[in-house]
Amino acid sequence: MDLSVVLPVFNEAANLEPLHAELTEVLAALGRSYEVIYVDDGSVDGSRDLLRRLRDRDPHVHVVMFRRNFGQTAAVAAGLTRSTGDIVVTLDSDRQNDPRDIPALIAKIEDGFDVVSGWRKDRKDDLLSRRLPSLMANALIRAITRVRVHDYGCMLKAYRGEVARGLRLYGEMHRFIPAIASDLGANVGELVVNHRPRVAGASNYGISRVVRVVLDLLTVKFLSVYSTRPIHVFGVIGVVLGGLGCSVLAVLGAQKVLFGVQLSGRPILLLASLLVVTGVQLVTMGLLGEMLARTYHESQGKPIYVVAEDLPARQVGE
């Protein structure tokens, strides 16, 4: 297979038919063998029936349906795992990504890049609820990961097949794919792509995702830099807190010996100690939990989703 196109779907019944018509026109004009993999993430608006009909009439369509909503990262992971193309393209199913950008993405992959990320330079979304939080999040991600991609949140991306199928995604990691791929040694590029206003359906994103982005960013940074040397994190915390504690004890000891100051009955000391110990425990447990989760999923090949139906593309003429 020359090309695989992966689309996560969640309650996009109004967009699927026109989107598939656009995709078919663009992909047929390429003159390459291709497959279109729709991954339904537990839709409840009739998208599943529409996908079944698309698969029945188009032999290029492969449909995967989850038993419930597992999230966009799980849907992307399921599609990438099932892809067979030398080049894999992902895009949203809300029709805001333009399928006509696919040939340019493919050309950039063939120029030598392993991953090409779309940049929605002229984004057609609400300023306060979508564009401003996205600008802030992208700036933060670039600063921490050092991977200079302008638009991490753009789903329109192209990959070499072996890179796409080698990614291990969980949580909300789909938005950090350029950073994850770069950490694995992939050559990451960027391409300005068209972005269109939403004409049907409702957005599933909001400002509430900002907190999750920040937390996942901490995870990505930790796993990419310290996963093989966690002592550089825990050791620094321990040395700093231990040094601070020893300093406080030294001061209190001097006060006791030199001035006879009573140390008992000082709640500020107890409160400070409790906050420090609790903070260290929570941070340490969180980071260790992320490491265990990664080890669990990668070593056992444990999926992060449960498939209700897996309908491979029909053979031409079937």
pLDDT of residue 300: 65
Q: Which residues contact 174 (CB under 8 A, 6 or more apart)?
A: 72, 73, 76, 77, 155
pLDDT of residue 213: 76
Q: Is residue 39 domain-shared with residue 91, that is, in the same domain? A: yes
Range of the domain at 247: 231-299
pLDDT of residue 312: 87
In this structure, are residues 141 and 152 in contact, taking their beta carbons and an 8 Å threshold?
Answer: yes
Q: Is residue 283 domain-shared with residue 156, that is, in the same domain? A: no
Phi-psi region of 11 (alpha: psi -120 to 50; beta: other; left: phi over 0): left
For residue 190, the cross-strand partners are: 117
Q: Is residue 91 domain-shared with residue 16, that is, in the same domain? A: yes
Max CA separation in the chain (angstroms): 95
Q: Is residue 164 domain-shared with residue 113, that is, in the same domain? A: yes
Q: Is residue 200 domain-shared with residue 268, that is, in the same domain? A: no
Q: Is residue 106 part of a domain?
A: yes
Looking at the chain, the whole-number percentage of residues with pLDDT higher than 90 is 47
Q: Is residue 318 part of a domain?
A: no
Q: Is residue 159 domain-shared with residue 77, that is, in the same domain? A: yes
Q: What is the mean pLDDT of residues 298-316?
A: 74
CATH of the domain at 90: 3.90.550.10
Dist. CA 115–CA 132, nearest whole Å? 26
Dist. CA 285–CA 299, nearest whole Å? 21
Q: Is residue 47 part of a domain?
A: yes
Q: Is residue 294 part of a domain?
A: yes
Q: Is residue 21 domain-shared with residue 167, that is, in the same domain? A: yes
Q: Is residue 261 domain-shared with residue 219, that is, in the same domain? A: no
Q: Is residue 142 domain-shared with residue 252, that is, in the same domain? A: no
Which is more confident, 205 or 280? 280
**Mutual angle of helices 47-57 and 13-30, in 10-degree steps:** 30
pLDDT tens digit sequence for 124-175: 877 776 777 788 888 888 888 888 899 998 999 999 999 999 898 877 788 8
Q: What is the mean pLDDT of residues 195-201?
A: 83
Question: Would the pTM of this model clear 0.75, i.e. be above it?
Answer: yes
Q: Is residue 136 domain-shared with residue 217, that is, in the same domain? A: yes
pLDDT of residue 296: 65
List of E strands, the chain: 3-9, 34-40, 61-66, 87-90, 115-119, 157-160, 188-192, 307-311
- Which of 55-64, 191-200, 249-258, 309-318 has the highest average model confidence (pLDDT)? 55-64
Domain count, the chain: 2
Average pLDDT, the chain: 86
Q: Is residue 204 domain-shared with residue 176, that is, in the same domain? A: yes
Question: Shortest CA distance to 236 belongs to which of 250, 252, 249, 225?
Answer: 225
pLDDT of residue 270: 72
In this structure, are residues 113 and 187 in contact, taking their beta carbons and an 8 Å threshold?
Answer: yes
pLDDT of residue 203: 65
pLDDT of residue 10: 96
Whether residue 116 is predicted with pLDDT greater than 60 in this model: the reply is: yes
Burial class (CB in 10 A: 0-12, 13-18, 19+), 315: exposed
Q: Is residue 86 part of a domain?
A: yes
pLDDT tens digit sequence for 171-194: 778 889 999 999 888 999 999 999
In this structure, are residues 88 and 80 in contact, taking their beta carbons and an 8 Å threshold?
Answer: yes
DSSP symbols for 105-127: HHHHHHTT-SEEEEE-TT--S-I
pLDDT tens digit sequence for 45-58: 999 999 999 999 99
Q: Is residue 33 part of a domain?
A: yes
pLDDT of residue 89: 98
pLDDT tens digit sequence for 94-115: 999 999 999 999 999 999 999 9
Q: Is residue 208 domain-shared with residue 285, that is, in the same domain? A: no
Q: Is residue 317 part of a domain?
A: no
Q: Is residue 316 part of a domain?
A: no
For residue 191, the cross-strand partners are: 118
